[in-house]
Amino acid sequence: MANKTWLITGTSTGFGRSLATLLAQKPDLNLVATARHTDQLDYLDQYDHGQIQKLTLDVTKRDEIDQVVKQVNDRFGSIDVLVNNAGLGYFGTFEESDRDAVQYMFNVNVWGLADMTRAVLPTMRKQRSGAIVNFSSIAGLHSFPTLSFYNGTKYAVEGLSESLAQEVKDLNIKVLLIEPSGFRTDWAGRSSQKTVPTSPDYQQFAASIKQNNATAHHEAGDPDAAAEIIYDQVTNNYDNLPLRLPLGKFASDMAIDKYTKSLADFKRLRDISVSADKPEK
């Protein structure tokens, strides 16, 4: 696939920054890097030879989404790859999580991604080509304590993306889910909010929540390596692009473990499941 124009959300830090840095150095493509504050994108200036566009974007604001898509089309005439990277984390037990903070996370992780994709799809349908890269997480396949609502946002991204992939298949539009485990980004640090349990019944989780800031940027995953993999998959493997791509050993192990155990359970319950059907006579 000749990837002329890449549009990436959330490029001030983390995966978005690594991917934007990589793409900015590719002379054969255009890069549209977005962030809520474009002064955080100065790191791209050294690579800009007229092929980089930096735009202000808060994915929770639909008017800004529409304006960004219009500006990209006006300047470059196409959107060939959309990378929905903007996202937040939240640590807290299900019972004690802050309702407003969780709602905002859903607005960013789910509705921001959905609105961004819906705004770009008319361009890709007209082109009869395009790749939509949605950042999910291993937490979109495998649930963990203190991440129930974050899990919920990523399970939603998985479901939306899987259905979308079937709807746009005949239009030559691809969907790729990125499912990272722990990477050296700001996700576990300043890009996530934390509510430490106060109930004695949940104190076994308090220490792990408190430690997240300290362990940030010490994870096994390398975001620069992830950026290289994503670029290679979209550019060189477009015709056989997988729907799901776990990144990191932990992500791969957890995905295999989840589906292996689920398959065993489904087979064990097969007779009970089938017995729920009663065909009409």
Altogether, the residues listed in the chain come to a count of 281
Tell me, yes or no, if 150 is annotated catalytic: yes
Tokens of 160: 């939306």
Tokens of 207: 């220490």
For residue 189, is pLDDT > 70? no
Q: How confident is the model at residue 219 (pLDDT cuts 50, 70, 90)?
A: confident
Q: What is the pLDDT of residues 50-94, one digit of tens each?
A: 999 999 999 999 999 999 999 999 999 999 999 999 999 999 999
Closest CA to 35 of 20, 50, 48, 25: 20
CA distance 247 to 34: 23
Tell me, yes or no, if 136 is annotated catalytic: yes
Q: Give residue 10's region: left, alpha or beta (phi > 0; psi -120 to 50).
A: left
Tell me, yes or no, if 258 is annotated catalytic: no
User: Among 136, 148, 181, 192, which one carries the catalytic annotation?
Assistant: 136
User: Among 137, 154, 181, 231, which one carries the catalytic annotation?
Assistant: 154
Q: What is the pLDDT of residues 230-265, one digit of tens each?
A: 999 999 999 999 999 999 999 999 999 999 999 999
Domains and CATH numbers, the chain: 4-275 (3.40.50.720)
User: Among 78, 90, 137, 150, which one carries the catalytic annotation?
Assistant: 150
Q: What is the pLDDT of residues 14-50, one digit of tens each?
A: 999 999 999 999 989 999 999 999 999 999 999 999 9
